[in-house]
A and B are shown apart, each in its own frame.
Chain A
Amino acid sequence: MWDYTDKVKDHFLKPRNVGELEGANAIGESGSLSCGDALKLYLKVNENERIVDATFMTFGCASAVASSSALTEIIKGMTLDDAAKITNDDISDYLGGLPKAKMHCSVMGQSALKKAIADYRGIQILEKPGEIVCECFDVTDLEIIDAVKTNGLETTEDVTDYLKAGGGCGNCLERIEELIESVKAKG
């Protein structure tokens, strides 16, 4: 059994803001059915670029549902500029922490939010820069380097916990190892 905080359990069993949002003018999606978790985030943004309502639809484990629920609670009432600064750690902290192997659930929340904001602003999210390392979960070398630097990740397992990269077929684990070493080497 996972060691979930009471807050995670509460947001899983009684999720806030579930469902499609009528009149939503920004939508962001992250994850897929094959990944095992996916989030569709709906925002209603007013003329002052303030998020007046947010809802979600999530397929996934308890921490994926709880992270989605927490995300909508955090961003309601925020301006898009402030919401853009929300990180996966903010989501995890709001829930009193997530098990390490479940951190990717909070990353999924952050990613869907970024996409929703881009959707509202009419910005095309371009093809991801960098080179795809993990084919199973579509993760690039730049994303891995960034996650390693930002979160002080030390092992391939850490990278899998955060980004899922390497958690599928495992073919890219050596490459992930090299990337971790390259970050370490640069200090």
Chain B
Amino acid sequence: MKIVYTDNNATTKVADEVIEEMLPYFGELYGNPSSMHTFGDKVDKKLKQARQRVADLINADPDEIVFTSCGTESDNSAIFSAINAFPEKKHIITSKVEHPAINKLYQHLQETKGYEVTFVPVDEKGLLDLDLLYDSMTDNTAIVSLMWANNETGVMFPIEDIAKKAGEKGILFHTDAVQAAGKISIDVKKCGVTMLSLSGHKIHAPKGVGVLYIKKGFKFSPYLIGGHQEKGRRGGTENTVSIIGLGKACELARENLSVMNTKVRELRDYLQKGILEAIPGSSVNGDLEQRLPNTLSIGFDAVEGESILLMLDRDGICASSGSACTSGSLEPSHVLMAMKVPFKSAHGSIRFSLSHYNTKEEMDIIITTLVPVIQTLRDMSPFWKDGKVI
């Protein structure tokens, strides 16, 4: 069975070029980049190239790039470093729709360290309440952390404006750009964030490698204390192979940025239009404009997400759901709840997230598969009769 993979906000295929770039460093070139000998130095040189390539993707200086093990580590390091830098400030700000790497960390700081937390709400389109955000920034605020783009809906926050405002008030600003990287243009010099997180496996590099950009001048305190690696900002021997792969992936992401905003956006829009036309009682979650080009979150009235996913899975289609039942909790996702998406479609919301590897034929397969799946489930649903919710 042919697999149609449209779950790229969960993880992506490692690009063939990336694998090719990494292979020698799995095998004969196993040296430690910190070693004095030429053998280790060969790896060090390659690591420097990777650091440059990552920096180029976001217009940073190579010295501002710290390699980590994942996006979650980057996020955690950033927040802990900020509160270490300002121990007297006991207020921190984020949004209600963050990834658990920030959301759960903030809850932890609130519950165990006595931090006052502002979780800024979003409207029904997933857009941030900027007035509330700006009003809540005070002299007591240690850091503001906001995702650049939402993993479930693809909705983007105006990070450049917010970073500017935080800067004016002298407040540290971190952004989780894990979903934004490779999909929209990011320029840290222009937007002026203090710290920014990236993850390798969302941009066709392997799992197990992430990045924290740290603006020059910020007194960063390490999360992993150990050796002198990463200029003392993250102890532990570098994950050389994955970092080298990530470097290549960042180079490819730069080249593919226009593809993402033309071909991939067109595919997403084609899929969206096709589903909306073919299936009554379906609605897109999130703002249609302020949205990543690859993401489509769409809710189907009167059916439940896990059932849709399992039926799509039977037919080889990989997607994801913001639905309760997939994650073990019973409520629909915190993102859709924060947007006050009505229960009738929140439970039946599915996310399709594309990459440049997807094709128009695949979009057609999804549409033609989805129509009978939704019909079957609605025929079974006590809340659907005569073409509408009852």
Contacts and interface: CB of A to CB of B under 8 A. Distances in A.
Interface stretch (B93-101, B213-221, B247-255, B329-337): B329-337
Contacts, number: 72
Given A38-B382, A62-B306, A168-B330, A13 B325 contact: no
A29 to B, nearest CB: 8
Contacts of A104: 330
Interface residues of B, number: 25
Given A13-B314, A33-B343, A160-B330, A65 B307 contact: yes
A109 to B, nearest CB: 14
Contact of A61 (B306, B381, B383): B306
Given A38-B382, A40-B382, A167 B331 contact: yes
In this complex, which of B331, B347, B382 has the most chain A Cβ atoms within 10 angstroms of its Cβ?
B382
Nearest to B306: A61
Interface in A38-80: 38-40, 57-62, 64-65
In which size bucket is the chain A interface? 20 to 34
Interface in B297-323: 302-307, 310-311, 314, 323
Nearest to B330: A167
A62 B382 contact: no
B16 interface: no
22 contacts: A12-B307, A13-B310, A19-B379, A34-B343, A35-B330, A36-B330, A36-B332, A36-B343, A38-B383, A40-B382, A57-B381, A57-B382, A58-B382, A59-B380, A61-B304, A61-B325, A62-B307, A104-B330, A137-B330, A160-B330, A167-B329, A167-B330
B381 A36 contact: no
A37 B381 contact: no
A145 B262 CA distance: 58
A150 to B, nearest CB: 21
Contacts of B307: 12, 60-62, 65
A12 B311 CA distance: 9
Given A37-B304, A62-B307, A167-B329, 11 more contacts: A36-B323, A36-B330, A36-B347, A57-B382, A59-B380, A59-B382, A59-B383, A102-B325, A104-B330, A164-B330, A167-B330
Nearest to B389: A33
A101 interface: yes
Interface string B96-130: 00000000000000000000000000000000000
Interface in A3-31: 12-13, 15, 18-19, 29
B90 interface: no
Nearest to A165: B330
A57 B314 contact: no
A13 B304 CA distance: 14
B356 interface: no
Contacts of A60: 304, 307, 325
Nearest to B380: A18
A164 to B, nearest CB: 6
